[in-house]
């Protein structure tokens, strides 16, 4: 059984000083891992208290294929012998056909492999489970970011760094799986401090774009949603965005919101 420190949590209650209307901010993991599925069951109660659900990315419409975002042939970029060798391992261990992903963005390949390593493959990721529950409750839904904005982030990333990260993952599949399991256990404990540090380390040269810059944008969007303060919102973001010097918790507090951790 995973022990949870009494101060660790992924869920925060928010309200303006002059209002009793409560909103909630929840840190997600974009997987269907055991910890993610457990968190879904734990936070459904607070979701049902709200009338508006805001995911990190608007999931209400059809999901794009991102076809054409990546132009390079990964097999040629990473080396044909290396690619074939790793593709064989992934097929044997996880049933992944890497040969079908030769023109897929490296970060999408990494996400796909990670999901297969620790996720329940017949279950949707946590973000989508929350979206489905919000739809069932007939809540208004939206997102802090659009799919197009996430697409633009991928386009703007240096290709060399994306390739380097993918090659690092593929070189050590067993080590990658151990790290993912460790991250899942950290998520189960609700340790947002450690999740932030682990994510920063894992992102390498992408950390400024993926964490610091996006935190500022995400925080501003939260404030925009809450400014009318007419309805209760349940808002989601990746758990790694919560903590840190430029984290969303600090930014929202600076903007005047009162935040209270909820231990679930």
pLDDT tens track for 96-128: 999 999 999 998 999 999 989 987 767 889 999
Q: CB under 8 Å to 228, separation ≥6 — which residues?
A: none
Which pLDDT tens digit goes with each residue over 198-215?
887 766 655 656 677 889
234 contacts 24 by C-beta, under 8 angstroms: yes
Residue 176's H or E segment, with its range, is helix 173-189
Residue 187 and residue 162: Cα distance in Å, rounded?
A: 25
Which pLDDT tens digit goes with each residue over 25-55?
999 998 999 999 999 999 999 999 999 999 9
Whole-model pTM over 0.85:
yes
Residue 259 and residue 264: Cα distance in Å, rounded?
A: 16
What residue ranges do the domains of the chain occupy? 11-262
């Amino acid at each position: 059984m995973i022990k949870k420190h009494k101060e660790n949590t992924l869920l925060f209650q928010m309200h303006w000083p002059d209002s009793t209307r409560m909103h909630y901010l929840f840190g997600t993991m974009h997987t269907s891992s055991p910890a993610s599925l457990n968190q879904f069951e734990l936070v459904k109660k607070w979701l049902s208290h709200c009338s508006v659900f805001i995911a990190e990315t608007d999931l209400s419409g059809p999901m794009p294929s991102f076809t054409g975002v990546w132009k390079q042939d990964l097999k040629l970029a990473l080396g044909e012998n290396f690619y074939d060798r790793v593709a064989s391992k992934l097929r044997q261990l996880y049933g992944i056909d890497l040969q079908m992903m030769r023109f897929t963005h490296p970060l999408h390949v990494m996400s796909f492999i990670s999901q297969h390593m620790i996720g329940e493959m017949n279950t949707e990721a946590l973000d989508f489970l929350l979206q489905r529950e919000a739809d069932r409750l007939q809540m208004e839904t939206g997102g802090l970011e659009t799919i197009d904005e996430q697409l633009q982030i991928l386009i703007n990333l240096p290709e060399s760094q994306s390739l380097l990260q993918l090659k690092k993952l593929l070189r050590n599949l067993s080590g990658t799986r151990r790290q993912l399991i460790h991250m899942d256990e950290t998520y189960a404990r609700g340790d947002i401090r450690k999740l932030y540090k682990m994510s920063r380390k894992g992102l390498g040269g992408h950390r400024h774009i993926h964490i610091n810059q996006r935190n500022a944008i995400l925080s501003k969007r939260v404030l925009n949603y809450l400014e009318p303060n007419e309805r209760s919102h349940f808002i989601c973001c990746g758990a790694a965005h919560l903590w840190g010097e430029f984290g969303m918790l600090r930014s929202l507090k600076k903007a005047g919101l009162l935040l209270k951790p909820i231990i679930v």
